[in-house]
Chains A and B, each alone.
Chain A
Amino acid sequence: MSDALSLHVHEVSVGYGRREVVRGLSLAPLRGGCVTALVGPNAAGKSTLLRTIAGLLPMRGRVSLGAVDLAGLSRAERAARIGFMPQSLPGGVALTVMETVMGALRAGGDAAPISGSEMQTRAALALDDLGIGALALETLDKLSGGQRQLASLAQALVRRPDVLLLDEPTSALDLRHQVVVMSILRRLAGEGRLVVAVLHDLALAARWADHVVVLSEGRCAAEGAPSQTISSAVLASVYGVEGRVETCSRGMLQIMVDGPLPPSAQKTGET
């Protein structure tokens, strides 16, 4: 993993049928070693963009990792470089946590096949790394919400990808587990990975991300450091709410939402 790791999104359009969700989107390069938060109101195209980068949706435009066009990678190569964590794992699955992580490692095929015992070792280490080694033999269905997210994260990490994409990793979690997951993401970025997470909670994005991309109706409304992107103007124009963004005594951004803007004010806010 090099310091030069960067992800480029250039003129990307994605749609479902005729409805375009992401429209000709270009972003400043996303950097390795940083946590990037993708934020925006519902239906802004956050998850769609993330899944497109993961190679799960057909698109127009170009997504590249350094100089490598992701469209040119085979499935196995892509899976080796990019880990994707969906919003939630399905219920009613009679698999142990260990088995799901081994499946993540084995299912896509490998350039170099690994032995059964190495597979078990790597799966166990991936769990241990997230502090859930003790849950290895629990069935997925018996886990709490926070444990499930960590198990899901272990599946995304076991191939040791450079890039980690997470779709709302904290949405179903209580306060403590939100912070646990976000601090793990910070640590993973600190190890040099490129981490991109869709977040619903602006406060989490302000507190934990290095870089924020604000999406609105499939376009980029703002991008940059949290202090540059999360502002009362963005709250008004993108979210349609009246709010204040202030810096607390510890130098952290604090977001206070006072109420919805009337529809007429929203229009003017957009210009």
Chain B
Amino acid sequence: MTTASPPLTASAAAAVAGYRRLLRRRLLLLALLVAAAIGAFLLDLASGASGLSLREAVMTLVAPDAASRTSLVIIRDIRLPQAVMAVMVGMALALAGAEMQTVLNNPLASPLTLGTSSAAVFGAALAIVLGVGVPFIPLSWIISANAFVFAFGSMLLIQALSRARGAGSETVVLFGIALFFSFNALVGLLQYVASEQALQQLVFWTLGSLGRASWDKAVLLALVLAFTIPFSLAAAWRLTALRLGAERAESFGVNVARVRLWSLVRVSVLTGAAVSFVGIIGFIGLVAPHMARLLVGEDHRLFLPASALTGALVLSLAATASKLIVPGAVLPVGIVTALVGVPVFMLLMFGRRT
């Protein structure tokens, strides 16, 4: 057989032209998602207890010299790190959820539903309450390191089970739910023996809140994203092929076991980092990939970025809502994402059925 393609037939040319139109439309949707995410980020920045307007907030950022000292402190040290954190946590969780759904071939997979987040919280709790941690890690990172190690451990368990003979995707989800309850129970046990101060910290973790965001955490999460996203995108075609079934992908020449393993490493790093900084924020990892799928389909070159952007958009909006629902108070954003996420998810599922 020759390697050069024969000339295009009329029908093949029409197919190529049609595909390019579809691709352009989806790239435009991706650009709109970027714009929407930036809009939501600014909205997040402009809302808060102190009543600074959007214009004041932006002016403070653009011309810090002209701004008053209080607004400078409010914007630069409080609102901006929180808003940046919301964007990045949204991206991290959504990307983790998208990869999990593909790799485990399970539309209900997400860091929350498979127990990964709970495992990370338990790891963090071990460090906070008992001071047990990964050796040779500086004290300031021990909570994050523990969260990652436990997240990865739970992912390996899930992976081992999904590769075991006869375990279907339903079994894997049931096992994930079992992990979820087990780790929650273990965290409950730790809460029981925890000091008052450690207890407060644990509650923060289990509710999920952006309230403790800081610049050094934001920088670290940015590094995690910068390190994982290129690998995710490099695996895009292999992940797309995996949607057609493991055997099918294998017959295309994909090393499915390796793709799965590295994907789960990325998922663990993303989940562990996100959870150790802001606690459990549920449903972003579940809902954002579904929304992205409806927008751009499942070509992972588009689906992964769209999931990350949708995650950023949704979490920024949730963070904004968490400041507006009860005037003068900021709710933990995990409560908001759960309240909004569950009905949205139900709608999505019913919408897909019909």
Tell me the A residues contacting B by CB distance below 8 Å.
Answer: 1, 16-17, 51, 54-56, 75-76, 78-80, 82-84, 86, 89-90, 92-96, 98-100, 103-104, 106-109, 112, 117-118, 120-125, 127-128, 133-134, 136-137, 139, 155-156, 159-160, 162
Stretch at the interface among B126-134, B252-260, B318-326: B252-260
Q: A99-B297, A137-B19 are in contact. Are A121 and B12 (CB under 8 A)?
A: yes
Closest Cβ of chain A to B8, distance in Å, is 6
Determine the residue in chain A with the shortest Cβ distance to B251. A84
Q: Which residues of B contact A162 (CB under 8 A)?
A: 1
Contact A136 B1 (CB under 8 A): no
Question: B237 near A: Cβ within 8 Å?
Answer: yes
Contact A125 B251 (CB under 8 A): no
Q: Which residues of B contact A94 (CB under 8 A)?
A: 293-294, 297-298
CA distance A133 to B18 in the complex (A): 11
Q: A121-B5, A121-B16 are in contact. Are A93 and B244 (CB under 8 A)?
A: yes
Choose from B3, B19, B165, B247 the contact partner of A112 (Cβ within 8 Å). B3
Question: B203 near A: Cβ within 8 Å?
Answer: no
Closest Cβ of chain B to A60, distance in Å, is 19
Q: Which residues of A contact B293 (CB under 8 A)?
A: 94
**Beyond A75-B254, A75-B255, A133-B14: 18 further Cβ-contacts under 8 Å?**
A51-B247, A76-B253, A82-B251, A83-B251, A95-B240, A96-B19, A96-B22, A103-B244, A107-B238, A107-B252, A107-B253, A109-B253, A118-B5, A120-B19, A124-B19, A125-B12, A133-B9, A136-B18
Contact A95 B251 (CB under 8 A): no
Contact B241 A124 (CB under 8 A): no
Contact B240 A107 (CB under 8 A): yes
Contact A124 B8 (CB under 8 A): yes
Closest Cβ of chain A to B255, distance in Å, is 6
Question: B13 near A: Cβ within 8 Å?
Answer: yes
Q: Which residues of A contact B294 (CB under 8 A)?
A: 94
Closest Cβ of chain A to B187, distance in Å, is 34
CA distance A112 to B245 in the complex (A): 25
Closest Cβ of chain A to B152, distance in Å, is 26
Contact A107 B11 (CB under 8 A): no
Q: A103-B237, A125-B9 are in contact. Are A16 and B165 (CB under 8 A)?
A: yes
Q: Which residues of B contact A104 (CB under 8 A)?
A: 241, 244, 252
Tell me the B residues contacting A by CB distance below 8 Å.
Answer: 1, 3, 5-6, 8-9, 11-16, 18-20, 22, 105, 107, 165, 237-238, 240-241, 243-245, 247-255, 293-294, 297-299, 352
Q: Which residues of B contact A90 (CB under 8 A)?
A: 105, 243-245
Contact B16 A155 (CB under 8 A): no
Q: Which residues of B contact A55 (CB under 8 A)?
A: 250-251
Contact A125 B247 (CB under 8 A): no
Q: Which residues of A contact B3 (CB under 8 A)?
A: 112
Q: Which residues of B contact A128 (CB under 8 A)?
A: 9, 11-12, 15
Q: A94-B293, A107-B249, A137-B18 are in contact. Are A122 and B255 (CB under 8 A)?
A: no
Q: Which residues of A contact B252 (CB under 8 A)?
A: 79, 103-104, 107-108, 155, 159
Q: Which residues of B contact A16 (CB under 8 A)?
A: 165
Contact A56 B16 (CB under 8 A): no
25 interchain pairs (CB within 8 A)?
A55-B251, A75-B250, A79-B251, A79-B252, A80-B253, A84-B251, A86-B251, A94-B298, A95-B240, A95-B244, A98-B19, A99-B299, A103-B299, A104-B241, A107-B240, A107-B249, A107-B253, A108-B252, A108-B254, A121-B5, A124-B12, A125-B12, A127-B15, A137-B18, A155-B248
Q: Which residues of A contact B238 (CB under 8 A)?
A: 107
Closest Cβ of chain A to B260, distance in Å, is 14
Contact B16 A89 (CB under 8 A): no
Contact A79 B253 (CB under 8 A): yes
Q: Which residues of B contact A125 (CB under 8 A)?
A: 5-6, 8-9, 12
Contact A124 B16 (CB under 8 A): yes
CA distance A93 to B9 in the complex (A): 28
Q: Which residues of B contact A100 (CB under 8 A)?
A: 244
Contact A95 B253 (CB under 8 A): no
Determine the residue in chain A with the shortest Cβ distance to B290. A94
Determine the residue in chain A with the shortest Cβ distance to B297. A94
Q: Which residues of B contact A121 (CB under 8 A)?
A: 5, 8, 12, 16
CA distance A68 to B294 in the complex (A): 45
Determine the residue in chain B with the shortest Cβ distance to A88. B245
Determine the residue in chain A with the shortest Cβ distance to B8. A121
